[in-house]
Amino acid sequence: MHAAALRIELRIPDAHSLKEKRGLLKPVIADLRKRFGVSVAEVDHQDLWQRATLGIALVAPQAGQLQRLTHSLEKYFEQLDAVEFLRMAISYLEDPQ
């Protein structure tokens, strides 16, 4: 088993309130869950209108599959119109074998 945690930093230029921010993030989070089968939550900047940090948990049977999924997620965020992708940090869970 291979696992990773991603920290995705986003800017949301069209949000002018926390309500607008949630309205823009909610469909993105739902799409991530449906399209990639990942666990995702907003983990930081909950009180800022135009910033968001998402935490995403990934699990795959092979390291190569985990790498492909990580790359696909990065491309997904780069192509979004409603949010600006700032950066992605990856933490890998090492298998203790």
- CB-count burial class (<10 Å; 0-12, 13-18, 19+) for 84: middle
Fold that domain 2-93 belongs to in CATH: Alpha-Beta Plaits (3.30.70)
Return d(Cα 77, Cα 97) in angstroms, integer: 33
Residue 96 pLDDT > 90, yes or no?
no
Domain ranges of the chain: 2-93
Gyration radius of the chain's alpha carbons: 14
Query: Residue 97's pLDDT band (boundaries 50, 70, 90)?
Result: low
Q: In the predicted model, is pLDDT for residue 87 greater than 60?
A: yes
List, for residues 9-50, the tens digit of each pLDDT value. Answer: 999 998 999 999 999 999 999 999 999 999 999 999 888 999
